[in-house]
Structure 1
Amino acid sequence: MLSVCKQTFSSNLQSNYRVATRCLGSVVPELKLNDFGIQNEPVLGYLKGSKERAELEKALQELSSKTEEVPIVIGDKEFRNNDVHYQVMPHNHKKQIAKFYYADKNLVNKAIDVATETQKKWDRTPFPERLRIWEKAASLMANEYRAKLNAATMLGQAKTIIQAEIDSAAELIDFFRINAYFLKEATKYQPISEDPRVTKNSMRYRGFDGFVAAISPFNFTAIGGNLAYTPALMGNAVLWKPSDTALLSNWVTFQICREAGVPPGVVNFVPADGPVFGDNITASPHLAGINFTGSVPTFSRLWKQVAQNIGMFRNFPRLIGECGGKNFHFIHPSADVESVVNGTIRSAFEFCGQKCSACSRMYVPESLWPQVKKGLLEKRSQLKIGDPTDVKSFTSAVIDNKAFDRIKSYIDHAKNSPNLEVIGGGKCDDSVGYFIEPTIVQSKDPLDKIMKEEIFGPVLSIFVYKDSQIKETLDIVANSTQFALTGAVFAQDENFLKQAIEDLKMTAGNFYVNDKSTGSVVGQQPFGGARMSGTNDKAGGPHYCLRWGNPQAIKETFVPLKDIEYPYMQQ
């Protein structure tokens, strides 16, 4: 693109110290991407006799009849060792659905080396080629592999049909398509060039000089895909540590992306023991970022390790984390009771309350409590808890024995505390699967630990407040937990809603008015919270993609500078 020319012109700003002949052309290629729009992936219905229902039933049969072997993948090589682990079905824990291996220290470091070298080449891959690959991956997810993704999520993470469809189909596809759209839109911004005959200013996005570690959770297949592949889209190379309890669905995602054309080494599939993985990535000078979803203690540990090693890194590592919440539904005396009841049942008990955004605490006025209590108990009693492949199941088992024991301990606390009463549910049975009944607890104390601590299970805690103490109760909602992820207020009183939006401004990164606290959609409600809920980088929004970009501003000057003096100095 370098060109020599003899274009002569006058420039008032530059005339006294620039030669009025443009000698060079721009060497920065103009980025021209085909424009395209986006829409969210439709959620399919899975009605009896439908094509998608038949395809899903076939995929469920195929995956449940075998134990999938999943290797460690670094670059274009697969690794297996003697550190063997199994993923089991949460609802039938005697059934193994995946056999996998933990990478040791040497393999983690090998993956770091491969990713660091691969990044240098991948970062030069033109954006149109990256967008083509991402669209191919999204198309494969939406069509050829939709049923397999959903079946792997249902069997491995005990999600019902609808919960799998909105996760491992619709949301995963949305992350790939909509983040590609955000990247395309970001490239449209170019800096001001006051006189492009003299100087041209441009902006381009690079990846980071090093590698990114993606550490993903069990509860959303889509989150795993987003954590690993959005940094890759922006030009980074990634070590992906999937959750042991989402191993199969994450492996299917990885295979799809390889088939779509993501080059070897751009994303490396590295199951590992958490501390082994964390200790080694934070000990590498090439660590450029950590993309994390999980617990506060784990993210805090990683943050501390990065801080302790800060002097040895080539970059200040970029840390993005989402760590859960103690999400609330606040009910005003003017609220529509039916909407409150239905929204709360869905938010608290779908997927066993294991969504980061699930409602875990509820505040109800005395005037509405009899109606709300009756409605909640009636709806709760109608819920079928069972095998996720049963179309009648509303929810299924919690993810593993550790989750079962943790959640049960809170229910036991409720049964034994004089301030708490279990008014619905409370039974736990792990003989076949890790089943816990949707449980409703009424608390006399709004500061009891069951109202403050994240449980991450099907336990809804309720405090009934006096109608005259709305302001005081809002203060409790705002200040009684360390989290600030999601929250909802239900009211028909618009003056109250205006007040609540301000009084609860810092309580939630995703705030809902007359809707449940769950259900954010990529591109519609960018997701994330502050305080100890995370860094609030808003997955599903344009801000998130830019956090994984490494922008470079370039100024090109085409006219030689012939003097060191400024015009006023020559008068």
Structure 2
Amino acid sequence: MYINGEMVPGLSGRTIKSDDPFKGEPWAVVPDGNNADVDAAVAAARQAFDSGPWSRMTAMERARLLRKLGDIIARDAEELARCECRDNGKLYREMLGQWQYLPEWFYYYAGMGDKLQGSTIPSDRPNFFIYTRHEPIGVVGAVTPWNSPGLLLIFKLAAGLAAGCTFVVKPSEFTSVSTLELAKRLEEAGFPPGVFNVVTGQGSIGAHLVEHPDIDKIAFTGATETGKRIAASAAKNLTRVSLELGGKSPNVIFDDADIEVAVNGAIAGIFGATGQTCMAGSRLLVQKNIYDRVVEHLVKRTQTIKLGDPMAESTELGPVANEPQFAKVMEYIDIAKAEGATCAYGGQRDPELGGNFIQPTIFTGVHNGMRIAQEEVFGPILAVIPFENEEEAIAIANDTRFGLAAAVWTQNVHRAHRVAHQLNAGTVWINAYRVVSYAAPFGGFKESGLGRENGVEAIKEFTETKSVFVELSGEVRDPFRLG
């Protein structure tokens, strides 16, 4: 683990093997921590925040460290990408592009930390000067998932460090390696001990982190039901929370869309990253008069998707990341068939590769009441749903407890904006899918979460606003009068 600037073993001495999903065998070993490890990490982060060198740094000094970290990550993008491919089976070319892009988060927030300006407030009393300060919220407990551990940590880390917070990170037990590798880069960049700490192990230590009285904020990405439990646990200490949770995102194709472009977007939306993304476009809504044509094009393109070694440049779909998730996805395939959906393509473990490989799967004959259309599968499973007109498309799209992302495919500029404004989702793409930026807020409506990551809004998630009243006259005032 990484605690107070040092790589240390877990106090229990236990370890966890991290399996390579492609090879089906262990490739790394990490400590299986316990609550005492969490306590040590939180104590280090608390000391660094309260009285360590970090607590005395100016925003400009923090910015220099963030820029240096960005440079180091850019230098080591290939190595970090390989780590994540081995841990979760995602395509190397996708991970490489991701890690090459992630330095921009640190550059962006390096330029923002020294602009957390308060404001002066016109006073209703002539003898008072009033102003505000935005101060770092404190020690952040970041709990990250297995699907994109580096990306989803940096969504939190760059803004939080720029604000002046310190961190204790609990990565998924399936994918801890890239987070530990990132810790080495923070040390190289010159971040003081205790600013960034990593504890690895089973979910129970994550629960201890969430309930820890010395944690000021929890930043979590993961399943909605887990997020609800975290919010309830954090409430015991009134710990602040931001939650980026699940989705069942609608990808809406109207009859005036460029079908080839829209189908390509549908493929990217659901089969990119083997469907293991919270923003996956797992519901494809298609206008009835082009439904058959779209399904035909979709099946034809899906048949050409190449499954294989994630490290190979030609591979387009890797394995499901771990055995529990593989079992869950296969269960949903059975559920969809039992509910009467038609499997237009795929629907089974790949017969050639075996292991955790599931064929990219398309279900037609789906209505929005089916479980396959309402519950997050988190795998390469697409439900195709017809609609009659714009009004029905919006109704179907919004008929979900989630609200993370959505897309509209149309060449009608009026319809594009009209529909985008009516979709209940934190991110809406027009004639595109699965695009994020450090500059654009990301987060969900409804049960897809609380708070925002990225953009100007994100840094405020890591601050508290303080009002300061300065009495100017120096007069002795009535102590029993307000104001």
Alignment of structure 1 residues 377-388 onto 2, 5 Å: 377-388=299-310
- Secondary structure, counterpart of 2:225 in structure 1: helix
Following TM superposition, by how much is the alpha carbon of 1:260 offset from its aligned partner in structure 2, in angstroms?
0.5
The aligned residue for residue 391 of structure 2 is: 471
The aligned residue for residue 510 of structure 1 is: 427
With over 3 angstroms needed to count, the CA separation of the structure-2 counterparts of 1:520 and 1:354, relative to structure 1, is: same
Alignment of structure 1 residues 109-120 onto 2, 5 Å: 109-120=39-50
The amino acid of 2:344's aligned partner reads I
Following TM superposition, by how much is the alpha carbon of 1:333 offset from its aligned partner in structure 2, in angstroms?
1.8
Alignment of structure 1 residues 310-329 onto 2, 5 Å: 313=237, 316-329=238-251
Alignment of structure 1 residues 253-402 onto 2, 5 Å: 253-278=182-207, 280-307=208-235, 309=236, 313=237, 316-402=238-324
The aligned residue for residue 215 of structure 1 is: 143
The aligned residue for residue 236 of structure 1 is: 165
The aligned residue for residue 561 of structure 1 is: 474
Which of residues 384, 403, 426 in structure 2 aligns to 1:462? Answer: 384
Following TM superposition, by how much is the alpha carbon of 1:123 offset from its aligned partner in structure 2, in angstroms?
2.6
Q: Whose Rg is larger?
A: 1
The aligned residue for residue 85 of structure 2 is: 154
Q: CA-to-partner distance for each residue in 1:292-338, whole Å, 9 max, x for gaps? A: 0011121111111223x2xxx4xx31100101200111121222211
Alpha-carbon distance between aligned partners in 2 of 1:369 and 1:234, rounded to the nearest angstrom:
49
Alignment of structure 1 residues 164-179 onto 2, 5 Å: 164-170=95-101, 172-179=102-109
The aligned residue for residue 356 of structure 2 is: 434
- Secondary structure, counterpart of 2:153 in structure 1: helix
- Secondary structure, counterpart of 1:396 in structure 2: coil
Alpha-carbon distance between aligned partners in 2 of 1:478 and 1:326, rounded to the nearest angstrom:
10
Residue 179 of structure 1 contacts residue 540 of structure 1 at CA under 8 Å; is this kept in 2?
Answer: no
The aligned residue for residue 91 of structure 1 is: 22
With over 3 angstroms needed to count, the CA separation of the structure-2 counterparts of 1:245 and 1:281, relative to structure 1, is: closer
2:398 is equivalent to residue 482 of structure 1: no
Which of residues 510, 513, 530 in structure 1 aligns to 2:445? Answer: 530
Alignment of structure 1 residues 3-82 onto 2, 5 Å: 71-76=1-6, 78-80=8-10, 81-82=12-13
Which moves more between the two structures, 293-302 or 173-182?
173-182
Following TM superposition, by how much is the alpha carbon of 1:78 offset from its aligned partner in structure 2, in angstroms?
1.5
The aligned residue for residue 481 of structure 2 is: none
Unaligned runs of 5+ in 2: 479-483
Residue 180 of structure 1 contacts residue 233 of structure 1 at CA under 8 Å; is this kept in 2?
Answer: yes
With the length of structure 2 as denominator, give the TM-score of the two structures: 0.91
Following TM superposition, by how much is the alpha carbon of 1:277 offset from its aligned partner in structure 2, in angstroms?
2.7
Q: CA-to-partner distance for each residue in 1:156-210, whole Å, 9 max, x for gaps? A: 222223310232231x2122121222323333x542589xxx976554432235x
Alpha-carbon distance between aligned partners in 1 of 2:15 and 2:46, rounded to the nearest angstrom:
27
Alpha-carbon distance between aligned partners in 2 of 1:456 and 1:73, rounded to the nearest angstrom:
32
Residue 509 of structure 1 contacts residue 530 of structure 1 at CA under 8 Å; is this kept in 2?
Answer: yes
Overall identity of the aligned pairs, in %? 25
2:468 is equivalent to residue 549 of structure 1: no
Alpha-carbon distance between aligned partners in 2 of 1:498 and 1:164, rounded to the nearest angstrom:
32
The amino acid of 1:186's aligned partner reads L
Unaligned runs of 5+ in 1: 1-70, 566-571
The amino acid of 1:358's aligned partner reads A
Following TM superposition, by how much is the alpha carbon of 1:74 offset from its aligned partner in structure 2, in angstroms?
4.2
How many residues are paired up? 471
Alpha-carbon distance between aligned partners in 2 of 1:185 and 1:208, rounded to the nearest angstrom:
16
The aligned residue for residue 21 of structure 1 is: none
Which of residues 127, 136, 140 in structure 1 aligns to 2:59? Answer: 127
Following TM superposition, by how much is the alpha carbon of 1:140 offset from its aligned partner in structure 2, in angstroms?
0.5
Alignment of structure 1 residues 94-105 onto 2, 5 Å: 94=25, 96-105=26-35
- Secondary structure, counterpart of 1:238 in structure 2: strand
Following TM superposition, by how much is the alpha carbon of 1:445 offset from its aligned partner in structure 2, in angstroms?
2.3
Which of residues 158, 181, 187 in structure 2 aligns to 1:252? Answer: 181
The amino acid of 1:475's aligned partner reads A
Residue 366 of structure 2 contacts residue 373 of structure 2 at CA under 8 Å; is this kept in 1?
Answer: no
Alpha-carbon distance between aligned partners in 1 of 2:59 and 2:338, rounded to the nearest angstrom:
59
Alpha-carbon distance between aligned partners in 1 of 2:135 and 2:382, rounded to the nearest angstrom:
45
Q: CA-to-partner distance for each residue in 1:97-139, whole Å, 9 max, x for gaps? A: 2211122122212222222222112232211111111111000
The amino acid of 1:247's aligned partner reads S
Residue 258 of structure 2 contacts residue 411 of structure 2 at CA under 8 Å; is this kept in 1?
Answer: yes
